[in-house]
Structure 1
Amino acid sequence: MPTLISLLGKGRNDSETGYRKASYRFADGTLRETPFFGLALAEQIQPGRLVVAGTAGSMWDVLLQQHAAEDDTVLQLMEAVEKEAVTQQLLTACESHLSQQLGRPVTCLLIPYARNEDEQVAILQALALKLSKGEKVVLDVTHGFRHLPMLALVAARYLARVQQVQVEEVYYGALEMTDQQGTPVLALGSMLQMLDWVEALATYDKDGDYGVFAPLLAADGMDRRQAAVLQQAAFYERTGNPVQAQQKLGSVIESVKSHSGALGRLFRDTLARRISWFRKGNRSEWERALGNAYLERGDYLRAATYLYESSVTLATLQQGWGDINDFAARKDAFKDSRNEHSQQLEYLRNSLCHGVRPLGDNTAAHLQSEERLRKRLQELSEATQL
């Protein structure tokens, strides 16, 4: 069973009627009336435990109204709510009462108002301390200040990365959408999936691995076999095999371009454009495009490798030595046509691969700074394709 993390905000309390209630309507048609959505959600999904996070002025007393009269600690907490002076000590003292009342372990977490960066970071750290590695979590962002749901989405990503927490769903009780049938409960988990896609784009921009899109496309409805082909293409590209990468991309590109999944539609054109290198004329052009792409990302080893291989392929084509995919033919063609520029590409590639600086040429000088290496590779990319 997951852990439910529910934000607790400030409610409108009437001295005669108490806090305003809403009749929350879940997807299965169930109606649950309560002033605090977290209680309705806990009844609906039956979490293993409940973590309630709120500020010093949140409506903590709404959790305790049913059996508060005979408990001095609870009465103290209710008085503190009125003064917006709730402390963690008071909350901790009430946890056993709440656990008994709600039929599951309850943790009360006092958080700041998230007014600045320090307070926002403090909330993320406090949540992380209450969760175990790999724990499954459901988030309720209904109550609290209006900026807290945005922080909750950040928290979801932070917890997933730092604690490997699995955020299964995000819920919001949409009071402003209340109609005659009740207050609808919205599931916002797709927002986390959108962030997965954005994160995948960032990963691709950094290292060129479009294989990260494969599981996202599969989850979004693409045939898993086609998604696997995309992942295979990425593997071949990143292991220096552009021929097989090109073949795989050619067989999967139409599936990418025609993908109609809700999330994939947002990203398919961008993805298709970013893997379009495989449509260029010949192997030398594929390799050059890949070399330049990796150079833009600062992946100098792959950049030098692909640019060097591009010059070898071009030499093989120009010399007419036979199969451009044959190692011996490529070696002989390059040897016969090698010039100053292609030779330095070879030296740079070898130096980056082996960590050994060659003697007798100026390769070492270009490896003294990133700016010089980038500039020289750009120059060689142009010079070796003439």
Structure 2
Amino acid sequence: MSKLSKIFTGNIVVSLVAILFGLIVGAIIMLIGGYDPILAYQSLFEQVFGNKYDFGETLREISPLVLTGLAVAFAFRAGLFNIGGEGQFIIGMTAATFIGIKVTGLPAYIHAPLALIVGAVCGGIWAGIAGYLKAARGVNEVITTIMLNWTALYLGNYIVTNFLMKSGMDKSFDIQDSASISIQSLSSFFNDARIHWGMFLSILAAIFFYYFLWKSKQGFELRAVGHNHNAAEYAGMNVGRNVVKAMFISGAFAGLAGAIQILGVFHYQTIMSGTPGTGFDGIAVALIGMNHPFGILLGGSLFGILTYGSAGMSFGADVPPELIRIVIGSIIFFIAAQGIVRWVLKPFYSKRKKEKVL
């Protein structure tokens, strides 16, 4: 087993134990509040797996979370903190909406991919602004990405209001059918759940993340820059260019997440009074997935199941949906405080080592 595989396997064990601890903490809080945790968790899983429609909608919920989680993790692997996934998500939405409405006369096999690519590229360019300011001026990317979140919100609303809708409406026109990425055959199988190609794109994005970062020369440079800027520069690597590149690719993941939501789920864009939250949820997904692409697939799945299933807890066990956020927060706490989890696991690892020696 390779060193990377051992690290990943160890991280998976820590994540699974952290999830278990988070669920236990959530159960304790439910008991304190007078709720039945067994019924609550049973209702949650019935909401997710009880019928084909809800299962399909859960899969749909997972896809953008995986992509925004990849966005956060990719930047982190390059030594950067991309807190602007929310803004890049909105820019990706807006760009895809614009292409889906304004570009006409194209067949579906060109129009839909074009809208996806433009959404991803625009999200990348938006993140690249923060990357350039970091590389050229030394401006902290946390500050610039947070500020760009709000700029993206108002810019998106401005574009929709002035170019993509009739006056008096609160949403854009619907995108053209040729720009849709919905999969009607699978949607029918899942009882009209909003199934789309973005689900498969999120898996391909995770595979690309892994191979680019660990199997390519450019990925090696990005990781080297993330480990130590000075050492990478001494080795002859262009640190500034790699910073911009890392932020661009990171933003492209988030922009793609926004694009698939428009092209596969809503088919129009509303005037937003606040940010949707998917980009910020990506931070939690990246933490749960230990910033590893395949861990993020699992973390996004968990986050999507808990988020969509929270409605079942509310209806089936009268538990407030806010409690599911406490469960998610507890999971993130135990993952962040890995020392606690590893301390609990230490006796088991010691026992295994003794057995190997014997």
Quickly name the TM-score band, shorter chain normalised: under 0.3
Higher RCO, 1 or 2 (CA under 8 Å, sep at least 6)? 2
Q: Is the strand fraction higher in 1 or 2? A: 1
Q: Compute the TM-score of the two structures, normalised by the length of structure 1.
A: 0.22
Structure with the bigger percentage of helix: 2
Larger radius of gyration: 1
